[in-house]
Amino acid sequence: AQRVTQPEKLLSVFKGAPVELKCNYSYSGSPELFWYVQYSRQRLQLLLRHISRESIKGFTADLNKGETSFHLKKPFAQEEDSAMYYCALSGSGGSYIPTFGRGTSLIVHP
Amino acid sequence: EAGVTQSPTHLIKTRGQQATLRCSPISGHTSVYWYQQALGLGLQFLLWYDEGEERNRGNFPPRFSGRQFPNYSSELNVNALELEDSALYLCASSQDIPMGNTEAFFGQGTRLTVV
């Protein structure tokens, strides 16, 4: 079974502070990991995926297979980063159902 | 290009009634996923349809069912509604699954309230 754990329900930081949203996963095969974001009154949308190894809006995430983690990081948080963040896993080999964590609410204070 | 559309936006039903939620995927997408987003529980996987077939279902009772039509649009039916079914129901679509590395595109959701 595949599982995604986001241990923090809420993360509150001040503008300019570093941010790290934690994500741990459980999957026996080779996973595809994603971060989705939901801004206030907007639909859930993809932020980034591990396979593309890109930085989106200053956010990066590295897949650590040894620690089965895919933490989302940003060196300097901005107020517009305030949103709900979901880590998701999509398995390979026939198990393509995106499985989501419970989400972390990020609040960036001015 | 139109995104994933869901209807209705809001739905209020009485306990014991049936609810029907609809989803139109992005053109060209054959896979449709349904999720329940209840407060504090994140997205719980409900159903996955691809090419008109139910491919998998989550840990929900049989009164949650659905179907996918030839044009790939989908319906989610919830029978014998219970108060705990009140939630935001999200539909997502993706392209045919090549290697599993597929982005899911979400609709705005249907807010179901059971009273």
B42, A102: Cβ pair inside 8 Å?
yes
Categorize the per-residue pLDDT at A92 as very low, low, confident or very high, splitting at 50, 70 and 90: low
Checking if the pLDDT of A43 tops 90, the result is yes
Q: Which residues of B touch A44 (CB under 8 A)?
A: 43, 90, 92, 106
Categorize the per-residue pLDDT at B98 as very low, low, confident or very high, splitting at 50, 70 and 90: very low
Checking if the pLDDT of B28 tops 50, the result is yes
Most B-contacting residue of A21, A40, A44 (CB-CB within 10 A), to test interface: A44
**Res B101: pLDDT:** 57
Q: Which residue of A has its CA nearest to B103?
A: A46
A59-74 pLDDT, tens per residue?
A: 999 889 899 999 999 9
CA distance A25 to A4: 4
Mean pLDDT of chain B: 91
Checking if the pLDDT of A104 tops 80, the result is yes
